[in-house]
Amino acid sequence: MNPADKSKTAFVAVDWGTSSFRAWLMASDGTELAESRGSEGMLHCATSGFAPVLRAHLAKLGAPADTPVLICGMAGARQGWVEAPYLHTPTRLDALHAGAIRVDTDGDVRILPGLAQARPDQPDVMRGEETQLLGVTEPDFTGVVCIPGTHSKWIRIDNGAVAEFATYMTGELFAVVSEHSILKHAVEPAAAEDNTAFASGLATALSSPTSLTSALFRLRAAQLLGYEQRPGGAARLSGLLIGSEIADARARFGVNVPLRLIAAGRLGGLYREALAASGFNASECDAEQASRRGLIKAARQIWGARF
Amino acid sequence: MNPADKSKTAFVAVDWGTSSFRAWLMASDGTELAESRGSEGMLHCATSGFAPVLRAHLAKLGAPADTPVLICGMAGARQGWVEAPYLHTPTRLDALHAGAIRVDTDGDVRILPGLAQARPDQPDVMRGEETQLLGVTEPDFTGVVCIPGTHSKWIRIDNGAVAEFATYMTGELFAVVSEHSILKHAVEPAAAEDNTAFASGLATALSSPTSLTSALFRLRAAQLLGYEQRPGGAARLSGLLIGSEIADARARFGVNVPLRLIAAGRLGGLYREALAASGFNASECDAEQASRRGLIKAARQIWGARF
């Protein structure tokens, strides 16, 4: 990348998660001039401080002095850098920028808010995904977005506004069950992909959506009785948990809606397969691109004159 | 207890679980002459050996030399003392004794078998609970038995024979989720009982039986948004998981069956409440008494002449 390009710099986009940091130097035309990544997520910075981490990454990016910075994610949580209070659903995605708070630090640094579903019967929260939603939806989008992960999100969007959403602890349950329960004997860490075992776990969950906690035990029993083998255990567990999520989301949101899947890598592939097997017709967007695009849209609204 | 009583000794009954050991010196009329308990379960003995543990407890009990010993539970697992191969369902409970294996050690020591449901679509196993079932059912019993615990069991019995059963990872999920997931921030270890929070979690699970993995996240979100407080988190989590188990078992076995609950202490109380709220009409048996009675019934079949 030609250093001269950096004269076109408009702002720095930052996705600051629980355990990861990603920053991009962005040009005013939306192109990416440089990238810097690290593991200094919120948990790390809660003890070591946020400002020094940001300064170091701005230096790595070669950001010109006084380049404004727009951040999304857990840096805006109560236990983050500065709390950016949640916007409450229903809320238009193109109103996100209005909830950004400015950090009392060198330069113009702002953090986008998360979203809260402040309903006693369905309380829910997100931080970071709202920016991805802004990135992948048109101002009049109506449909559902699925964002798989540690805490998978399903979001119903009505004419550009987040109407409601639900979080599933899919990825985190996979981790804690395979590391800390009796299933550690039935799941190999870093097992190879096993499409047959994944599809079988998925089919079990879709056909018996109330039986998750007994299906988990059967995964162990099937190996004890010789019907299944340990190398397929991780894929089967993944199929059970992803299938449990999709079965519930399908009943809640319906399959006859435009569905966008925001995902990447191996997890994206598993959800693509699972959604198709569940009757969804999903279009797919890359997760990092979604974050960057959302940050660009919000930055244009905040610092319009620079673009 | 008068030591002279021990002349009436018929046998020693042992419930040897994963992490606990309980033995009773039993008279021929079924009364309990002495008790000895310890934490030397299968996991402990796998490294230190089983025979010395049994010898030490027999000495504590003051068992006369050559008293026969009948054991149920994980001591008969593959990773236990000596494997007592599973009997396969369907199987009559009064045939359990025929599957007992004799241990190659001093005296007459036998281990009862566990049960396996060797069906590729519903593989399942139990060790220890089959003896409780024998203890609490008449030879012609028809109905369902619920045994709550780390791995809760629901068993359908048809005219004295185990027809089918299902295991739910309820207790283990409570432990791993409250200790190792984000819910550790929402659940206080050793929280006081909270009947309202338990009932609320239970109602959520019963009314939305496919939503467990999102209900778990909402438990955290509700506290972040101020709708619920951390002291009620453990009871609510317990209600969600027990409710998830009962909702599935209710759909599978139906509520219009004679139901026996084998339980004890605080967990027994929670299940009593949850089963009543779910429309079941359950009769209750004490868990330890169920084990002892099952061991007595099997011992009479094995060593009939002594009784």
pLDDT at B6 (0 to 100)? 74
For residue A168, which residues of chain B lie inside 8 Å, CB to CB?
A: 213-214, 217
pLDDT at A3 over 60: no
Q: Would you state the pLDDT for residue B250?
A: 97
The stretches of A62-95 forming alpha helices (DSSP H) are none
User: Does B46 reach chain A within 8 Å, measured CB to CB?
Assistant: no
B210 touching A (Cβ < 8 Å): yes
| Span B3-138+288-306 CATH architecture | 2-Layer Sandwich (3.30)
Q: What is the mean pLDDT of residues B247-265?
A: 96
Q: What does the DSSP 8-state code read for residue B97?
A: G
Nearest CA in chain B to A77: B224
The residue in chain A having the minimum alpha-carbon distance to the alpha carbon of residue B243 is A210
Does residue B291 sit in helix, strand or coil? Answer: helix
pLDDT band, very low/low/confident/very high, at A4 (cuts 50, 70, 90): very low
Helix or strand or coil: residue B152? strand
- 3-class secondary-structure state, position B266: helix
The verdict on B169 touching A (C-beta cutoff 8 Å) is yes
State how far the Cα of A164 lies from the Cα of A117, in Å rounded to an integer.
7
- B214, closest residue in chain A (CA to CA): A168
A28 band by pLDDT with thresholds 50, 70 and 90: confident
- Kindly report, residue by residue over A97-109, the tens digit of the pLDDT: 999 999 999 999 9
**Mean pLDDT confidence for B154-163:** 98
Query: How many CB atoms are located within 10 Å of the residue B203 CB?
Result: 14
Q: Is A285 helix (H, G, I), strand (E, B) or coil?
A: strand
The pLDDT of residue A21 is 97
Does the beta-carbon distance from A245 to B170 stay under 8 Å? no
Contact across the interface for B210 and A248, Cβ inside 8 Å: yes
- Each domain of chain B, given as residue ranges in start order, spans 3-138+288-306, 170-287
Provide the pairing of β-strand B152-158 with B161-168.
antiparallel
pLDDT greater than 60 at residue B114 = yes
How far is the C-alpha of A183 from the C-alpha of B169, rounded, in Å? 10
CATH entry, A3-139+288-306, from 3.30.1330.90, 3.40.50.1820, 3.30.420.300, 3.60.20.10: 3.30.420.300
The stretch B11-27 carries a mean pLDDT of 96
User: Could you tell me which residues are beta bridge partners of residue A152?
Assistant: A168
Phi, psi of A99 (to 5 degrees): -95, 0
Average pLDDT across chain B, whole number = 95
Q: What is the pLDDT of residue B304?
A: 86
Q: Which two tokens stand for residue A67?
A: 């380049």
Residues of chain B found within 8 Å of residue A116, distances taken between Cβ atoms: 225
Tell me how crowded residue B38 is: count the other CB atoms within 10 A of its CB. Answer: 14
| Interval A73-86 mean pLDDT | 96
Decide: residue B98, CB within 10 A, 0-12 exposed, 13-18 middle, 19+ buried: middle
Count CB atoms within 10 A of the CB of residue A236: 27
Strand partners, B181: none
Q: What DSSP state is assigned to residue B74?
A: G
pLDDT of residue B46: 87
The whole-number pLDDT of residue A190 equals 79
A216 touches B at CB < 8 Å: yes
Q: Which amino acid is at B98?
A: A
Amino acid (one-letter) located at B79: Q
B116 vs A contacts (CB less than 8 Å): 225
Of A125, A213, A227, the CB nearest to B120: A227
Query: What residues of chain A lie within 8 A of the CB of B247, using their CB?
Result: 210
Angstroms from B258 CA to nearest CA on chain A: 22
Domain A170-286 has CATH 3.40.50.720: no
Cβ neighbours of B241 in A, within 8 Å: 213
Q: What was the pLDDT predicted at A192? A: 80
Instruction: Compute the distance between CA of residue A217 and CA of residue B117 in angstroms, rounded to an integer.
Output: 13
Q: Is the pLDDT of residue B248 over 60?
A: yes
Q: Does A19 reach chain B within 8 Å, measured CB to CB?
A: no
* DSSP three-state, residue A101: strand
| Cβ pairs bridging A and B (under 8 Å) | 123
Structure confidence at residue B28 (pLDDT) = 87
> For residue A89, is pLDDT > 50?
yes
pLDDT by residue (tens digit) across B29-44? 889 999 999 999 999 9
Of the candidates B116, B166, B172, the beta carbon closest to that of A214 is on B166
Specify the pairing of strand B9-16 against strand B21-27.
antiparallel
Q: pLDDT at residue B9 above 90?
A: no
Task: State what percent of residues in chain B have pLDDT above 90.
Answer: 91
Distance to chain B for A120, nearest Cα, Å: 6
When pLDDT is averaged across residues B7-22 and rounded to a whole number, the result is 93
Any idea of the CA torsion for A50, A54, A55, A57, to the nearest 10 degrees?
140
For position A8, what pLDDT does the model report?
84
Tell me the fold of B170-287.
Nucleotidyltransferase; domain 5 (3.30.420)
What does the pLDDT look like over A113-145, one tens digit per residue? 999 999 999 999 999 999 999 999 999 999 999
pLDDT digits (tens, 9 = 90+) for B259-278: 999 999 999 999 999 999 99
Q: Please classify residue B298 by burial: count the beta carbons closer than 10 Å to its beta carbon, then call 0-12 exposed, 13-18 middle and 19+ buried.
A: buried
Residue B172: closest CA among chain A residues belongs to which residue? A181
A3-139+288-306 and A170-286 in the same fold: yes
DSSP B147: E
Mind listing the pLDDT tens digit for each residue in A236-269? 999 999 999 999 999 999 999 999 999 999 999 9
pLDDT digit string, tens, across residues A221-234: 999 999 999 999 99
Q: Which residue has the tokens 């007592």?
A: B84
* Closest of A57, A70, A47 to residue A302, by C-alpha: A70
Instruction: For chain B, give the percent of residues with pLDDT over 70.
Output: 97
Least confident among A4-13, A253-262, A273-282 = A4-13
pLDDT at B4 > cutoff 60: no
pLDDT digits (tens, 9 = 90+) for B28-83: 888 999 999 999 999 999 888 999 999 999 999 999 999 999 999 999 999 999 99
Instruction: Provide mean pLDDT across the span A147-170.
Output: 97
- Please answer whether residues B236 and B183 qualify as being in contact, where contact means their C-beta atoms are separated by less than 8 angstroms: no
Q: Which of A183, A218, A223 to mutate to test the interface with B (most CBs of B within 10 A)?
A: A218
Asked if the Cβ–Cβ distance from A182 to B173 is below 8 Å, we say: no
Residues sharing a CB contact under 8 Å with residue B4, sequence separation 6 or more, in sequence order: none
